[in-house]
Structure 1
Amino acid sequence: MNWNTAIKDFNSYLKIERGLSYNSITNYCLDVQKLRVFLNEKGIEVSPLTIEPEILQQFIYEISGEVNPRSQARTISGLKSFFDYLVFEDYRKNNPMELIETPKTGRKLPDTLSEDEIDSLIKAIDLSKSEGERNRAMLETLYGCGLRVSELINLRLSDLFFEEGFIKITGKGNKQRFVPIANLTKKYLNIYINQVRLHLPVQKEHEDFVFLNRRGKQLTRAMVFTIVKQLARKTGLNKNISPHTFRHSFATHLLQGGADLRAIQQMLGHESITTTEVYMHLDRLDLAKVLNKYHPRK
């Protein structure tokens, strides 16, 4: 088996068997491509089935001088998955990445927005333009439901269960979950759907998507990023924010309001509770204030 065939088969496995998103599949395959480029540059002739840990260790050492620990850890994870796949399919008997350690990266703390900052961003939307109502509904949904940007742009009219108070979300790996929706979010979605979207020239195969561009096609990830960045500049917000910042803020504000961590995990669609626990750090300052105010040894 050569590298081309192995990467192509790995791509199909990630898509069909694992049900991963396009972006995740692309990143995994790029990790293997990096290894392949390294082997070509060094003149090392070895196949995916015969490569040894020593060569992989050499590759990891090489990239450690070019990328930060987080990117290095990502590449190691991608290669481990690739060789796990080869073992799973009985192409190899062992994973040569097994003994290669992942660098300590620490946990990256997510950026968040205060409630006032979110209000300022939404108030800065120009509602005199037709896309203004869409953008307001979009940001209210991002923040009000804690969605990923991919989940937002793929939200469909048939996923909205307003009477029951939920929306159906298709997340990573095509896993579905129901997320509660607040009355305010419903209000702005209804205004956009019934007063603006209704008059758009909706293109074929885009009829069910909630958020559309002016040409009646599904809104893109890039467009959502652009809208958020423009609003941040308009309000003079001195933070590097993205659509994902609204998701982080959703989780943070729920936690600060006393919500149960497992409930937040379910709403965010995190497979593991440890992923959700990253938000616990944001409550520590509040906890310190409580200690300083009420503990007898303050």
Structure 2
Amino acid sequence: MEDALSEYKFYCLARNYTEKTMKNKGQEYKQLKRYLVEKRGIQELESITYHDMRSYLYQKQKAGLQPQSIQSMAKQIIAFFNWCIKEEYLTENPMDKVTLPKIPKRLKEGFTKDEVYRMIRCWSDKTFLEARNKTLIAMMSDLGLRAMETRTLTIEDIKDTTILIHGKGNKDRVVFASYQLKRIMMKYERLRKQYLEVKGYDDPHYFLNYKGDPITHATVHNVVKEAATRAGVKDAHPHKFRHFYAVEVISNEKANIDLFSVSKLLGHSQVSTTQIYLQSLTNEQLKIKANNSSPLAKFK
């Protein structure tokens, strides 16, 4: 088992998995190995049965792990065992007969237009940091970017109205900035250039802190939290801008954009992921879409 886990680690590194993914995998496999060795007395890979894996998941549930977390954890383990089968170290996956807990369906709620408008407007464009924060909020809401995608942008990624996004799983995609967003960006870019010249800094990242270094993941969260506080918006976090973007694009009767295209713009590998965001479409939004797509409405 030890040898297989070590080999699988290098297999994942060769696949260019992100540092965050590798860290999550490493932690999960470390916990799994400890449980199998210490609690079940198992050292050999082929000795693992579905009984052992059922017991492992049951221990996780007893510890208070939520269904969503257990499913995420199980996917990591299933991937490892599937690789073992591919390499002919195992003939079947011990997780095949393990029933995973169901994830309760909760209606996802995104920001309203007014909330996003207020969060953008709460920042001025008079200083470098204020303009940076305004641009960050505007960019996430207008393009549906992840926090990671926002903070890793570079100056070279920004073209005229197209932006190269370095997405999840090292997958790049191109998104398109609206003229309204471009105006906000241009004001920030002027102040950014002036700030770097005065301070003598030179960093290719698009969003920088006051020291001229790339912003961190925590900075993105703090900017969103501060914007929400200023605008009087509750339960704000960066990922809700992706939800807002998906719903607004799909419900826009003038856009006439399909679900697959929205999925590509968001950088989702599966359309089903995009569909989760759209569960919060209001009846009024659905009514407008239904009227605009009515077959009889096209008849004279």
Deviations 1:166-200 (A, max 9, x none): 11112122111111110111111121122224422
Aligned pairs for 1:1-298 (under 5 A) are 1-2=1-2, 5-17=3-15, 19-42=16-39, 44-66=41-63, 67-162=65-160, 165-200=161-196, 201=199, 207-238=203-234, 240-258=235-253, 259-286=257-284
What's the C-alpha RMSD, in Å, of the aligned pairs? 2.4
Paired residues in the alignment total 284
- Amino acid across the alignment from 1:91: Y
- C-alpha spacing 1:38/1:211, structure 2 compared with 1 (3 Å): same
Distance 1:14 1:28 in 2: 9
Distance 2:211 2:9 in 1: 33
Q: Normalising by structure 1, what TM-score? A: 0.86
- Amino acid across the alignment from 1:24: T
Deviation of residue 285 (structure 1)?
2.3
Deviation of residue 136 (structure 1)?
0.8
Q: Normalising by structure 2, what TM-score? A: 0.85
Distance 1:202 1:40 in 2: 56
- C-alpha spacing 1:126/1:278, structure 2 compared with 1 (3 Å): same
| Greater alpha carbon shift after TM alignment, 150-159 vs 32-41 | 32-41
- C-alpha spacing 1:203/1:13, structure 2 compared with 1 (3 Å): farther
In the other structure, the counterpart of 2:296 is none
- Amino acid across the alignment from 1:246: F
Q: Which secondary structure does the structure 1 equivalent of 2:181 belong to?
A: helix
Distance 1:166 1:289 in 2: 33
Distance 1:12 1:134 in 2: 39
Which runs of 5 or more residues in structure 1 are unaligned?
A: 294-298
Which runs of 5 or more residues in structure 2 are unaligned?
A: 292-300
Distance 1:155 1:272 in 2: 24
Deviation of residue 16 (structure 1)?
2.3
In the other structure, the counterpart of 2:297 is none
- C-alpha spacing 1:170/1:71, structure 2 compared with 1 (3 Å): same
Deviation of residue 8 (structure 1)?
4.0
